[in-house]
Amino acid sequence: MGLSLQQNFKLGVLGGGQLGRMLIQSGIDFNIPFTILDPDAHAPCASLAEFHHGKLTDYDTVMKFGSACDIITIEIENVSTAALKALAKQGKKVFPQPEVIELIQDKRIQKKFYHDNGIPTAEFILTENAEDVKRNAGFLPAVNKLGREGYDGRGVQILRTEADLPKAFNAPGLLEKLIDFEKEISVIVARNERGEVKTFPAVEMVFHPVHNLVEYLFSPASISNEISAEADRLAQKIILDLNMVGLLAVEMFVTKDGRVLVNEIAPRPHNSGHQTIEANTTSQYEQHLRAILNLPLGDTRIVLPSAMVNLLGEPGYEGLAQYQGFDEVVKLPGVHVHLYGKRSTKPFRKMGHVTIVDNDVERLKKKVNFVKETLKVIA
């Protein structure tokens, strides 16, 4: 074992949101002592571990926090990689490595990485500002993405025709061909320090037929063996090309003509892996811990088909969160509710998620609809 779990060591996590919270939940089984840094004094992890209140992007804050840790990891990418590099130089174990976080922080560098390594991705051009986007009207229909600090759809917009050009982002970003995809899938892959690599079976995002929003996630993805093998191969290739240690989520498009294109990657536990807590032998959180502690990677097999529904703040409500329909939902067999412990709700804020397991896929879908209609976060 790379690091004795009996020894007095500390695992530091940059970020104390829901991903950190579920990482702590899993770490309890391995008796792991956590220390957390987050800019919000009421972050979901605040009362669950040793907690430090401070900015993740501030060099001195991260240096001071990291100096008291043995291993440092992240649950959000927007952190001071300069501090993480200095900590790694001092001999701290930093996983994922700061260089990998830096590459992923900027979608422009991410795209260049795919291009340079022969990883299939949507055709793109880099743009410096809105004028630049407008000059490339011939590239439409396209998706305009901000290079940095756009997440959960905030840095992404579709430019279908020239009439959409006035809303182009006026900051370094990129234009990507609009892909008329058949499905969006995700593969989570892990690699430990000794080089062992393991993937989870692909999951599929199911879109709302009218609103074009991810409605729920389904595991396993309903794809052919060939597509599944290609998605698996790409996820493994990316973590190896990055030489990364830790957990990596790989979001991909399956095109109507059967190609798999990489959309984006995230070097940490991911929304598309929540269902592994109930539905796979090893959860993504445990796998992340195994990878960064250089333990043997866990069995990723699916125990039962599952669906995952994000529990978002109901539009029209803002304030102290209340959970309507909780009893009715937890009464259903195979339904597990996760609340993230956020005190206040606002429209579309991620407040929790629900995992539903069922051997019968039709029944599973019925339960998804019941959960979506019944459980609401209001104020």
Q: Closest distance between ligand ADP and the C-beta of residue 158, in Å? A: 7
Q: Closest distance between ligand ADP and the C-beta of residue 203, in Å? A: 13
Q: Closest distance between ligand ADP and the C-beta of residue 243, in Å? A: 23
Give the residue closest to ligand ADP by C-beta: 179
- Residue 294: other Cβ atoms inside 10 A: 17
Minimum CB distance to ligand ADP smaller for 156 or for 339:
156
DSSP for residue 294: T
Minimum CB distance to ligand ADP smaller for 144 or for 236:
144
- Composition of the chain by helix, strand, coil, percent to 5: 30, 30, 40
CA-based diameter of the chain, in Å?
A: 62
> Cβ-count burial of 93 within 10 angstroms (0-12 exposed, 13-18 middle, 19+ buried)?
buried
Q: Closest distance between ligand ADP and the C-beta of residue 211, in Å? A: 12
Q: Closest distance between ligand ADP and the C-beta of residue 329, in Å? A: 26
Minimum CB distance to ligand ADP smaller for 29 or for 123:
123
For helices 18-27 and 284-292, what crossing angle results, to 10°? 70
Minimum CB distance to ligand ADP smaller for 208 or for 363:
208
Minimum CB distance to ligand ADP smaller for 268 or for 290:
268
Residue numbers at the binding site for ligand ADP (CB under 6 A): 122, 143, 145, 150-153, 156, 176-179, 184, 251, 263-264
Q: Closest distance between ligand ADP and the C-beta of residue 86, in Å? A: 28
Contact predicate 248/236, CB 8 Å: no
Tokens (6 digits) for 246: 């830790």
Minimum CB distance to ligand ADP smaller for 79 or for 88:
79
> Cβ-count burial of 70 within 10 angstroms (0-12 exposed, 13-18 middle, 19+ buried)?
middle
Contact predicate 265/238, CB 8 Å: yes
